[in-house]
Structure 1
Amino acid sequence: MRLLYENARLVNEWLDRYGVKFGIYKDDNFIEQLFPFDAIPRIINEDKFAMLEKGLIQRVCALNLFLKDIYSSRCILRDKIIPEEFVYSSKGFLAECCGITPPKGIYSHISGIDLVEAPDGWYILEDNLRIPSGASYPMIAREITRSISPETFEKNKVCENRDYAFILSKMLEEVNCGGINVVLTPGRYNSAFFEHSYLAEKIGAVLAFAGDLEVVDGVVYYNTFNGKKQRVGAIYHRVSDEYMDPMVFQQNSVIGVPHLMEAYKKGNVALVNAPGNGIADDKGIYYFVPAMISYYLGEDAILKNAPTYLPFFKRDEKYILENIEKLVIKDVSEAGGYGVIFGQELSKEELNNLRNVIIDNPRRFIAQEVIDFLDLMVLDGDKTVPRKADLRAFVIHGKDIKVWKSGLTRFSRNPDSFVVNSSQGGGFKDTWIISQ
C-alpha cells in the first residue's frame, strides 16, 4: 500500500488528464475543478458491510413503498403516520405524477444514501433519490490506482467495484420497455457531466442531449446521426424533474423532452429515477423514515437516523428554539452542503434572527444534533492528518435490491469543518470492502 501512497500525486494527475472534474457556478461563472483524491482508502470489513447492506436494503425498500403509496392510495396519510399537509407542501411532491405507476413498480432505481460512522455506530444523514451522483469517482479512481499500484490489490482482498456498471445496466434492462438505453444529460455545463459520459460508456448506453430525443405517438425515439430513429426503452435521466418535460413542468426548459411524460404515463419508457421522487428525499420527510419502515415492513429500522427535530411540530420547535446554539439547522430546499447552519458558530444576534426565521417558516427547516462522527486519516503533503468523512452508499433497485460493495467516501479538507461536499471544497477516497 505504501507505493499507492507514494503515487498519490500521480493519481490526481491522471484524474486531471482524464477530465475527472466537477463544475460549480460562482459569481455567474462556470468553473471546473478537480475533485481531490486521497490515496488512503476507507476500509470496511465484509462483516460490518453486511450489516450496512441489510439496513440499506430495508430503507430503500420502505422508501420505494412510500413513493408507490404517496402517488396512489396514500394510506400512510390516511392513517396519519405523516401529516398530509407536510407532504403536499413539499417542493418534491409532483401532483402530475399521481396515478402513474412506473415499469415494474420501481420508483427509486438508484439511491445514494449518505451515512457517517460515530463511536456508537452508523447514522443515516440523508436519502438521495432523485439524481444521486458520485459513483463514477471511486470507479475511475480504482481503475487508475490498479494501473499505478497493481501489487496493492494483489496483496489485499478488496471486493471488486468494477461490477457497478453491470449492476446498473442489468437494472436498466429489467425495467426497459423495449428499445435502447439512454443516459439523458442536461449538457456540458452540468456539474456532473463527466459522470454522465463515463457511466454511459461503461454501461453501453447512448449519451443523449434533449435535442437527440423526440416523442412520436407516445413513443420515445433517439435520432441517430444517419437520420434513422431508434426506439428508446429506458432513460437514465440526469435532468431535474422540473425541467424534464416543458409540456408538463417548466415551460421554458430547453434541456427537457416535450411529451416525455406522455410516453412515460403510457408505459412506453422507463424513467430512472422516477419523476416525483423528490418527496422521498425531502430533508423533512427524512424524519419519518423509521416510521415508514415500521408501517410498511413491520420492522424496526436497522440503521439509525441522526436525532432530528421538526419545527413543524410545536414540541420540536420549542426544543429547537431553546437549544439552537448546539444544533445543526438545515434548509430542506437546499443541497450540496448549502443551507447547513451550525448554531455554535453564530453570534447571539444571529441566533435570535435564525429563531425568528424558523418561527415564520417552520416547514422550511429541520434541526439535528451534531454527531461527532469519526475522523479518517488523509494525506497532507508528507504527513497524515484526521478529517471528517462520510460515505455515500449506492443501492440499485431492479428485480432485486443490491448494495454496491464500494461507495463514495467524501472528506473535509478543512480541519474545522463537518461539511464534506465537493461543492464545498471536499475531497474523496476509494472505499474498500475487505473480504475475509
Structure 2
Amino acid sequence: MFNDYKTSPFFDEMFTPDGKPKAHYETFHEVIKRFSEDELREKHETAQLSFLRQGITFTVYHNNVGTERTMPFDFVPIIIPPEEWEVVEKGMTQRAEALNRFLDDVYHGQKIIEAGIVPHHLVEDNPYYYEKQMKGVKVPLNNHIFLAGIDLIRDENGKYHVLEDNLRNPSGLSYVYQNRYVMRQVYPEFFVNHSVRTLEHQMSFLHEAILDHAPRERKDKPFAVLLTPGMYNSAYYDHVFLAQQMGMDLVEGRDLVVRNNIVYMKSIRGLKRVDIIYRRIDDDFLDPEAFRPDSALGVRGLMEAYQQGNVAILNAVGNGVADDKAIYAYVPEMIRYYLGEEPIIDNVKTYLLDKPGDREWVLEHLEELVVKNVGASGGYDMLVGPHASKELIEKFREKIIETPHQYIAQPTIKLSRAPAYQGEKFYPCHVDLRVFVMRGETTHVLPGGLSRVALKEGSLVVNSSQGGGGKDTWVFKKKEEGEDA
C-alpha cells in the first residue's frame, strides 16, 4: 500500500523518514493493512456519500454564482499524542489571552501603542478597527474573544507555528463533529484498540461559555440566539448544526427587533427578550444605523443596545483589528507585554512590506516566499513564489510597490504532510490544524480540532474553497484517563 510513498524532504505525521509508522500510528497502520483495495475504495465512497446525504455542504462563489459542494473527506486521521497536545493546549490558551488583552487595550487605554510595541497606524488605519462604535465599550467579562480558531502548521522538523488567528467568526466546528461521526460510522474498526478523547461533551462547554456572557442583571436565566445571514451563506450548515447541538434558536436579522435599547426575538407568543447573540454576521452588516446603511441582514439599533450593556454580542464587535495579517507579526510581543511570558508556540517569520528594509529584501526574493494580502482570506490574492509563474511574480511585485502596506511576506515553510487516500492510492498531502479555543469564565480548548488537507498533489492550499478537504483529528488519552474511546 505504501511502497511508493515518499516522506522526504518533509515532516510526515504518520511515518518516520525511513518509512516506518511512528509509535502512535502503529495500531492504526496494522488495521489499514487488513483492508483489501476494494474495501478501501468502497469505504472511501461510502464516507463521501455520508456527507452528501446529511447535507454537509459549503458554498463556493465564483463570478457571483454559488456552487454547493460537500467537504472532501480523507479517512487517515491526524493523531496527536497526549504530551504533544498538552503543549498545543497551553500555547493556544496563552495566545488567545494575549490577543484578548490587546483588543481590550486598543478600545480603552491603548497602552501597548504608547509603549511603542504596536505601531499606531496599524490600529488606526485598520479597516476592522471600529473606534467610533467600540471605544470605551465594556464587554461582558472583558472578553472580546468567546471563540477563536487558530491555525497551526508544522515545519520540516515537526515544530508547530501559528499561521493565522481567526477571531471574528471562525467556522468549521461542525466539520470537526461530522468528520468524527463519519469515521465512527464507516471505519468503526479504527476505534476498537484506540483510546481517543471524545468530542461528546464539548458542545456543553461552548454553550456554557456563551451563557457566561449574559448581562449582569440577566445572569439567572439568560436567553441566547444564534444570528445567521441565512441559507445562502457559505457556512450555513455550520450555523444550523451549532444551533441544533446547543438547543439555541437560529434567527435572522428580520426575526429580531430593538425597543428602548432592548433586543427582542419575535415569536408566536409575542416578543421575547434576547440577552446574548452568537452572531455569524460580519460587523459591517450587523446594524444599518451603525455600519452599512444598505445591510438587510442586521438589526436596526443593535449597536446602541450593545453599547448600553443590554445585550452581549459574541464574538465582540471590532475583533478584526487583532486577526489582521500585519498585526499578527506583533502577537509574540503582545504575549511578552501583557503576560510577561515567552510564546509557547511562535509565529512564522513575517516581513512587513511597509518597512523599507523588509520590502527591499522581499522584492529581491519573491520567488522563494509566500506573499499574502492582509485583508484577504481563503487562499485568495496570495503568491506562493516557488510554485508561481514569472508573470504572476511580476504582477505581485507591482502590487507590493503600489500598496506595500496591503501585503506581508513569509518564508515558504515545508508544511508537514500526512497520507491521504482518494479512492485509488495513498499519497502525501500537506496539512494544517485549526484549533478552537472557547472562552467564558474559564478557557477550554477543543481536543483536536479541524485538520485540513491540500488534496491536490503538491498543493499547499488547504482551504475547502481551493480544493482542500478535512480529516478527523485524534488526541490520545493519557494512560490514567482510562481506555474508553
Question: Please, what TM-score do these two structures have when normalized by structure 1?
Answer: 0.97
Tell me the CA shift for residue 144 of structure 1. Answer: 3.2
Tell me the CA shift for residue 113 of structure 1. Answer: 0.3
Task: Tell me if 1:197 matches 2:234.
Answer: no
Task: Tell me if 1:166 matches 2:189.
Answer: no
1:24 to 53, 57, 60: 60
Contact between 1:62 and 1:292, CA under 8 Å: does it hold in 2?
yes
2:335 to 290, 293, 307: 293
- 1:147 aligned residue: 185
- Code of the residue aligned with 1:185 in structure 2: it is T
Task: Tell me if 1:71 matches 2:113.
Answer: no
- 1:97 aligned residue: 134
- 1:80 aligned residue: 116
- Code of the residue aligned with 1:123 in structure 2: it is H
- Code of the residue aligned with 1:10 in structure 2: it is T
- 2:284 aligned residue: 242
- Code of the residue aligned with 1:206 in structure 2: it is D
Task: Tell me if 1:218 matches 2:261.
Answer: yes
2:323 to 265, 274, 281: 281
> Which range is displaced more, 149-158 or 241-250?
149-158
Q: Supply the distance in 1 between the matched residues of 2:377 and 2:233 (Cα, whole angstroms).
A: 15
Q: Supply the distance in 2 between the matched residues of 1:346 and 1:142 (Cα, whole angstroms).
A: 36
| CA deviation profile, 1:225-265 (whole Å, cap 9, x unmatched) | x1422111111100001101111000000000111111111
Q: Supply the distance in 2 between the matched residues of 1:164 and 1:213 (Cα, whole angstroms).
A: 28
- Code of the residue aligned with 2:233 in structure 1: it is N
- 1:49 aligned residue: 85
| CA deviation profile, 1:33-62 (whole Å, cap 9, x unmatched) | 010111111100111000011111110000
- Code of the residue aligned with 1:232 in structure 2: it is V
For residue 274 of structure 2, give the secondary structure of its aligned residue in structure 1: strand
Tell me the CA shift for residue 153 of structure 1. Answer: 2.3
Structure 1 residues not aligned, in runs of 5+:
none
- Code of the residue aligned with 1:421 in structure 2: it is N
Matches within 5 A, 1:202-351: 202-224=245-267, 226-351=268-393
Contact between 2:94 and 2:335, CA under 8 Å: does it hold in 1?
yes
- 1:380 aligned residue: 422
- Code of the residue aligned with 1:68 in structure 2: it is D
Q: Taking every aligned residue pair, what percent have the same amino acid on both sides?
A: 38
Q: Supply the distance in 2 between the matched residues of 1:351 and 1:32 (Cα, whole angstroms).
A: 32
Tell me the CA shift for residue 112 of structure 1. Answer: 0.4
Tell me the CA shift for residue 145 of structure 1. Answer: 2.7
For residue 389 of structure 1, give the secondary structure of its aligned residue in structure 2: strand
Contact between 2:151 and 2:432, CA under 8 Å: does it hold in 1?
yes
2:151 to 89, 114, 124: 114
- Code of the residue aligned with 1:163 in structure 2: it is H
Higher Rg of the two aligned structures: 2
Matches within 5 A, 1:333-412: 333-412=375-454
Matches within 5 A, 1:419-434: 419-434=461-476
Contact between 2:44 and 2:423, CA under 8 Å: does it hold in 1?
no
| Alpha carbons of structure 1 residues 205 and 383: separation in structure 2 relative to 1, 3 Å | same
| CA deviation profile, 1:237-296 (whole Å, cap 9, x unmatched) | 000011011110000000001111111111111111001000011011000000111111
Q: Supply the distance in 1 between the matched residues of 2:214 and 2:192 (Cα, whole angstroms).
A: 38
Contact between 2:156 and 2:416, CA under 8 Å: does it hold in 1?
yes
| CA deviation profile, 1:345-403 (whole Å, cap 9, x unmatched) | 34445434422321221110000001101111111223211001110000011111111
| CA deviation profile, 1:107-158 (whole Å, cap 9, x unmatched) | 0110000011123300110000000000101202212332344453232100
> Which range is displaced more, 114-123 or 288-297?
114-123
Contact between 1:129 and 1:281, CA under 8 Å: does it hold in 2?
yes
Question: Please, what TM-score do these two structures have when normalized by structure 2?
Answer: 0.87
Structure with higher strand content: 1
Contact between 2:416 and 2:430, CA under 8 Å: does it hold in 1?
yes
- 2:483 aligned residue: none
Contact between 1:69 and 1:76, CA under 8 Å: does it hold in 2?
yes
- Code of the residue aligned with 2:369 in structure 1: it is L
Q: Supply the distance in 1 between the matched residues of 2:360 and 2:174 (Cα, whole angstroms).
A: 43
- 1:59 aligned residue: 95
> Which range is displaced more, 172-181 or 327-336?
172-181
Q: Supply the distance in 1 between the matched residues of 2:366 and 2:254 (Cα, whole angstroms).
A: 49
Q: Supply the distance in 2 between the matched residues of 1:354 and 1:340 (Cα, whole angstroms).
A: 9
Tell me the CA shift for residue 66 of structure 1. Answer: 0.2
Contact between 1:86 and 1:363, CA under 8 Å: does it hold in 2?
no
- Code of the residue aligned with 1:63 in structure 2: it is L
Q: RMSD value over aligned CA atoms?
A: 1.5
Q: Supply the distance in 2 between the matched residues of 1:357 and 1:150 (Cα, whole angstroms).
A: 51
Q: Supply the distance in 1 between the matched residues of 2:448 and 2:260 (Cα, whole angstroms).
A: 42
In the alignment of these two chains, the number of paired residues is 435
- 1:188 aligned residue: 231
Structure 2 residues not aligned, in runs of 5+:
1-30, 479-485
Tell me the CA shift for residue 195 of structure 1. Answer: 0.6
Q: Supply the distance in 2 between the matched residues of 1:238 and 1:391 (Cα, whole angstroms).
A: 21
Q: Supply the distance in 2 between the matched residues of 1:129 and 1:346 (Cα, whole angstroms).
A: 30
- 2:7 aligned residue: none
- Code of the residue aligned with 2:461 in structure 1: it is V
Q: Supply the distance in 2 between the matched residues of 1:369 and 1:53 (Cα, whole angstroms).
A: 26
For residue 304 of structure 1, give the secondary structure of its aligned residue in structure 2: coil
